[in-house]
Amino acid sequence: MSKQLKLKIVTPEKLVLEELVDEVIIPTTEGEIAVLPEHIPIVAGLKSGDVVGIVNGEHIPFAVVGGFVEVKYLPEARPLSARGLASGITEVVILADFAEHVSELSDDAVTKAKARAEELRKQAENKEVVDFEHFESELERALTRVKIADKWRTRKYRK
Amino acid sequence: MTGTKEIKRRIKSVKNTKKITKAMELVAASKMKRAVSKTLASRVYANYSWELLTSVSAKLEEVTHPFFTPARNATHSVAGGENKTGKTLIVLITSNRGLCGAYNSQVIKKTILKLKSLENEEVDFITLGKKGDGTMRRVGQNIVASFIELPDIISLSDITAVSNFLTSEYKIGNYKKVYVAYTDFVSALTQKAQIRKLLPVSKEELKEVIDGLDSPKALLLENPQSKALGSTYLFEGDINKLIETLAEKLVKMQIYQMLLESNASEQSSRMLSMKNAGDAAGEMINDLTLVFNKARQANITREISEISAGMASVS
């Protein structure tokens, strides 16, 4: 078996995903990066978009908004992954404000998100600066959901 | 007969009270369960953000971010030295509703003690929850903001307003210190009112907060070798900006965590006090039933003796 890396997606609400994958594509503030096993340790800011884990050529897409990504190399395998991985493992931790698997972005939810985005945009226009940040993050969240759901609608992905 | 009727009525009313307290206990129990599971879920994120910060901390010394060093006014450009002119801000987390034992009074007592120790400083308050808000208003403290419409099940977006207000006020140098008074959820039976310094962030205290979460995960993450590798991190983008956003997230995360802890504490102390009330009601019912039976028996004895006395006088 070829080398794999451990992908973890964590939000304040819960641990969204913990899985071994072959490759992961991450949208950072400086542009998209692809991380393969034994990647150099790196810390970067996360841009809203989609994090895609790739296992056996299958894509596992997640819509994420805001946060950080940390890639590190764990020299010792953890007790859980001790079998066959004695030499250590690359771990990719994604700390996102919000993360959702694309399949959870059902059409219904997306239309709702769309409507909400529009509504928020209108509200934001009338609002004073005080509430703006809140609206901004809400708006970004809604827009990202729409964008990512649209992007993956016609593509194949694994649940 | 009038005596027994009265007692009967009292028993009935106590029984009703018992039903109500029982229902409240159950509601609090289920709410507590949810609050506790939320608290645990957010600990993973807290742990990782802490780890990220330690990884970054190798470079932290060269970063002068207001969150990490005492806030300074624009005029005080000298590094170090605390901002003497700034005020102190206390965030007080209490419940919206009563009937939860000593939960609110404990955290308020703690806050008032803290106020005494800060006697010659100007203190402003942000209150979360009606109970603390009311008390602080009565005491005559200056409340700059009060958030009383927070739902029972809080989500991170609910506290965006709180954390934004706090960080922006701090950044412009209005305050030199920010404390949070909250209730730490130790277990379902013990909760501890606590006051923590939120800003400026000192690394030791931040560590304390996250160690305080003491999940087994924290031990797993304490991998000395991975820490040693920390200095070899590659940073993408502007490190100052990265640290700033990370620090802001951490502040928000801490408030969120404290709110969750407080919420879990509130529910469990409500559950406990309702359980006590229910037990007391049960005892009262037992006592009243005993009194009722005695009265009934006395009545019967009296009637029998009256009848037999009547019969004796007739024959």
- The pLDDT assigned to B214 comes to 47
Note whether ipTM > 0.90 here: no
Cβ-nearest to B237 among A45, A95, A138: A45
DSSP H helices in B188-236:
203-212, 216-221, 224-228
B189 and B285 inside one domain? no
- C-alpha distances (whole Å) from B197 to each of A40, B57, B201, B214 are 36, 20, 8, 19
Range of the domain at B285: 2-31+271-303
The count of structural domains within chain B is 2
B184 and B49 inside one domain? yes
Cβ-nearest to A43 among B42, B161, B233: B233
Cβ-nearest to A133 among B51, B164, B245: B164
- The pLDDT assigned to B57 comes to 61
B51 and B178 inside one domain? yes
Choose from A31-35, A134-138, B224-228 the range with maximum mean pLDDT: A31-35
In a domain, B117, yes or no: yes
- The pLDDT assigned to A140 comes to 80
B260 and B281 inside one domain? no
In a domain, B183, yes or no: yes
B285 and B209 inside one domain? no
Q: Torsions phi, psi of A14, nearest 5?
A: -165, 175
* Residues A133, B182: Cα–Cα separation, whole Å: 26
In a domain, B315, yes or no: no
B98 and B18 inside one domain? no
- C-alpha distances (whole Å) from B96 to each of B31, B127, B153, B266 are 14, 11, 13, 10
Half-sphere exposure for A19 (CA within 13 Å, toward CB): 15
Instruction: Map tokens 């996360």 to a residue.
Output: A46
Higher per-residue confidence, A149 vs A32: A32
**Cross-chain residue pair A10–B45, CB shorter than 8 Å:** yes
* Residues A115, B80: Cα–Cα separation, whole Å: 50
B146 and B234 inside one domain? yes
Taken in order B162, B168, B171, B176, the sign of the CA dihedral is negative
Chain A interface disruption, residue of B153, B236, B259, most A CBs within 10 A? B236
- Quick one: B112 exposed, middle or buried, by C-beta within 10 A (0-12, 13-18, 19+)? middle
**If residue A131 lies in a helix (H) or strand (E), which one and from where to where?**
none
In a domain, B260, yes or no: yes
pLDDT in tens, chain B (315 residues): 557 889 999 999 999 999 999 999 999 999 989 888 888 888 778 777 777 776 666 555 555 566 665 444 333 333 344 445 678 888 899 988 888 888 899 999 999 898 888 877 888 888 888 888 888 888 888 888 888 877 777 777 778 778 888 888 888 878 888 888 999 888 888 888 888 887 776 666 555 555 555 444 444 444 444 444 445 677 777 777 777 777 778 788 888 888 888 888 999 999 999 999 999 999 999 999 999 999 999 999 999 999 999 999 987
- The pLDDT assigned to B219 comes to 40
DSSP class of residue A75? S
In a domain, B312, yes or no: no
Helices A132-153 and B160-171 cross at an angle (nearest 10°) of 130
Among A87-96, A105-114, A150-159, B206-215, name the one with the lowest average pLDDT: B206-215
B220 and B251 inside one domain? yes
In a domain, B314, yes or no: no
The answer to whether residue A67 neighbours chain B at the CB level (below 8 Å) is yes
- C-alpha distances (whole Å) from B299 to each of B9, B231, B291 are 18, 89, 12
CATH number of the domain to which B9 belongs: 1.10.287.80
- The pLDDT assigned to B18 comes to 94
B237 and B291 inside one domain? no
B238 and B228 inside one domain? yes
- The pLDDT assigned to B81 comes to 41
Domain ranges of chain A: 5-104, 107-153
CATH architecture for segment(s) A5-104: Sandwich (2.60)
In a domain, B313, yes or no: no
Beta-bridge partners for A54: A23, A59
B11 and B50 inside one domain? no
Do B159 and B182 contact (CB within 8 A), yes or no?
no
B241 and B93 inside one domain? yes
* Residues B306, A68: Cα–Cα separation, whole Å: 90
- Quick one: B209 exposed, middle or buried, by C-beta within 10 A (0-12, 13-18, 19+)? buried
In a domain, B240, yes or no: yes
